[in-house]
């Protein structure tokens, strides 16, 4: 289980290591059922598969909760947070080579880390140097 602590007031949420994605959504009444829509990007990035069954947890979106979420990140609440942070060290396996010849590794939810100088099937220890909403860049520290 991971921990999440909001900065404005002391909130601690236990987050399962099995968490695939996190997003905000409205619940729509369709008469005989209620529908929660999963954003297309969650399927496109590989976080979830269409047609599969998942557990869903609902957290109240009252004003106080929304304020705390805004304090923690600049990412809009309907977008998942990047699973890495600048300065973080990771072991990754290079799965592909990008158009400019850089190694491509994928971590949680299909999130991409670009690793210059890495080769396909190489396993390397990296330090994350730059983080964007849809990808990160990592620098090789050591070959594994």
Q: DSSP letters of 10-73?
A: --EEEE-TT--------EEE-SS-EEEPPPHHHHHTTSS-TT-----------HHHHHHHHHH-
Measured CA distances, 26 to 61, 85, 105, 121 (Å): 10, 29, 33, 41
The number of residues making up the chain comes to 144
CATH number at residue 131: 2.40.50.140
For residue 132, tell me if it sits in a domain.
yes
For residue 125, tell me if it sits in a domain.
yes
pLDDT digits (tens, 9 = 90+) for 5-64: 444 444 455 666 677 776 777 888 999 999 888 877 777 766 678 888 888 877 776 644
Pick 27 or 138 by higher pLDDT.
Answer: 138
For residue 28, tell me if it sits in a domain.
no
**Structural domains in the chain (count):** 1
For residue 22, tell me if it sits in a domain.
no
pLDDT digits (tens, 9 = 90+) for 93-113: 999 998 889 999 999 888 999
Residue-range definition of the domain harbouring residue 107: 88-140
């Amino acid at each position: 289980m991971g921990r999440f602590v909001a900065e404005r007031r002391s909130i601690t949420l236990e987050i399962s290591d099995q968490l695939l994605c996190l997003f905000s959504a409205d619940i729509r009444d369709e008469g005989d059922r209620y529908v929660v829509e999963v954003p297309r990007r969650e399927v496109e990035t590989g976080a979830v598969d269409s047609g599969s069954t998942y557990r869903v947890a609902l957290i109240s979106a009252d004003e106080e909760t929304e304020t705390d979420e805004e304090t923690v990140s600049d990412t809009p609440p309907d977008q998942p947070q990047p699973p890495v942070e600048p300065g973080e060290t990771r072991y990754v396996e290079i799965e592909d080579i990008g158009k400019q010849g850089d190694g491509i590794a994928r971590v949680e939810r299909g999130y991409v880390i670009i690793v210059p100088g890495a080769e396909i099937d190489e396993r390397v220890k990296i330090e994350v140097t730059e983080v964007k909403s849809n990808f990160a860049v990592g620098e090789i520290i050591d070959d594994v």
